[in-house]
A and B are shown apart, each in its own frame.
Chain A
Amino acid sequence: MTSPSNGSARPSAAPLPTWRHPAFRRGLVEMLEIAPGLAAWGLVAGVAMAKSGLGVPMALFMSLVVFAGSAQLASLPLIAAGAPIWVVWATALCINLRFVVFSTQWRPYFGHLPRRLRLVLGYFTADLNYVVFMRRFPEPKPGPDQLPYFWGGVACNWVSWQVPSIAGIVLADQIPTEWGLAFAGTMALVALMGTMLGSFSTWVAAGVAGAAAVAAYALPLRLNIVIAIAAAVAMGVMLEHLQPRKTPGGAR
């Protein structure tokens, strides 16, 4: 992995358009490394949407509007079963709760921007953007390279999610489920976790989260994920107090 550096100060000459900024390219390239796993996932989600009985036009609409893979996958069986709309929404809300936590951490970087822009940025802050961005800018303060870097990552993330997802929707019947595509997505997460595991406390937090997620697996609405995050955060707070001024190693 590249070492974190915070904003190589550019001379303030004529402002470049975002997509020509060197940080845009860096954001795009760093996202490109994870793109294969994301693409495999997108394909799986697309196939699942098409096979859920949603129909091709609605599945395309969902992929382009919702842009949140796990919430989409969880709401499909509910829509297919004709569940009340509020149940579908409540399920998606629970699955997206982690983004509420993440949004507290976007705040130091984006809080000074206009609200409308903040909402647009927020819409595009998918899991992988979060992980890659926080690895690049571990210091929670605004910097000149951050927006171009963010948009570079978003461009790559959006394309490598939507294109396979749409392909999956259109080609659903030609793609066998035995290809292990979902597993490729899981392996991408394993690699991402590897970049964040460093200090002792990160290993403990990951272990606690994994164990809690298995133990609470029987809960509905995938609430086990929320429980696991809460348990790991609580453990993290405790460890911070035991060994002061040690921040998560790998992520720094």
Chain B
Amino acid sequence: MSTWETILTIIGLGAITVITRSFFLFPDKEVPIPAWLREGLRYAPLAAMAAVVVPELLITQGELIHTWRDARVFGALAGALYFWWRRGMLGTIVVGTAVMLALRFVLGW
């Protein structure tokens, strides 16, 4: 890609950010969405996060992990336990990442 093509691509990507994030904010009149769908859409953000997190923890190079000795899984478990215990964001991040790094560097998982 030439510099100008790259600039055009990046500007287009910025436009896509605005278009997708403001999609149903753009029309002046409310777009009717049936009540049942509106209720269901409440689950969308949680679903989006689970859809990012679970493969991130369980998939290595395009395949489901074959061993339970995986630093990521135990790191995430430790983080989740901490969250269940204390409900703190920062603590969850620190504990989970620390356990993951410890398993990776000490046990070589």
Return A225 CB to nearest CB of chain B, in Å: 4
B46 touches A206 (CB 8 A): yes
A1-B87, A183-B97, A194-B80 known; A97-B40 Cβ under 8 A: no
Residue of A nearest to B57 (CB): A186
From DSSP, what is the main secondary structure of chain A's interface residues?
Answer: helix
A118 touches B25 (CB 8 A): yes
Q: Residue A119 at the B interface, CB < 8 A?
A: yes
Chain B interface, number of residues (Cβ within 8 angstroms): 71
B13 touches A229 (CB 8 A): no
Q: Residue A22 at the B interface, CB < 8 A?
A: no
Q: CB-CB < 8 A to B54: which residues of A?
A: 209-211, 213-214
Q: Residue B106 at the A interface, CB < 8 A?
A: no
A217-B59, A232-B47 known; A186-B14 Cβ under 8 A: no
A237 touches B37 (CB 8 A): yes
From DSSP, what is the main secondary structure of chain B's interface residues?
Answer: helix
A34-B89, A191-B79, A191-B89 known; A213-B13 Cβ under 8 A: no
Q: Residue A172 at the B interface, CB < 8 A?
A: no
- Which residues of chain B (1-58) have a CB below 8 Å from chain A? 1, 3, 5-14, 16-18, 20-26, 28, 30-31, 33, 36-58
B13 touches A92 (CB 8 A): yes
- Which residues of chain A (179-204) have a CB below 8 Å from chain B? 179-180, 183-184, 186-197, 201-202
B43 touches A233 (CB 8 A): yes
Q: Residue A36 at the B interface, CB < 8 A?
A: yes
Residue of B nearest to A119 (CB): B22
Q: CB-CB < 8 A to A1: which residues of B?
A: 87
The answer for the CA separation of A62 and B49 in the assembled complex, in Å, is: 24
Residue of B nearest to A109 (CB): B25
The answer for the CA separation of A209 and B41 in the assembled complex, in Å, is: 13
The answer for the CA separation of A240 and B47 in the assembled complex, in Å, is: 16
The answer for the CA separation of A236 and B40 in the assembled complex, in Å, is: 5
Q: Identify 6 new A-B residue pairs, CB closer than 8 A, beyond the known A104-B41, A207-B50, A236-B42.
A: A107-B31, A187-B96, A190-B79, A197-B46, A209-B54, A217-B59
What is A's interface to B at a CB cutoff of 8 Å? Answer: 1, 33-34, 36-37, 40, 54, 58, 61-62, 65-68, 70-72, 75, 79, 82, 85, 88-89, 92-93, 96-107, 110-111, 115, 118-119, 121-125, 127, 130-131, 134, 178-180, 183-184, 186-197, 201-202, 205-214, 217-218, 224-225, 228-229, 231-237, 240-241, 247-248, 251
6 contacts between A and B (CB under 8 A): A97-B20, A197-B46, A205-B46, A206-B46, A229-B47, A232-B47
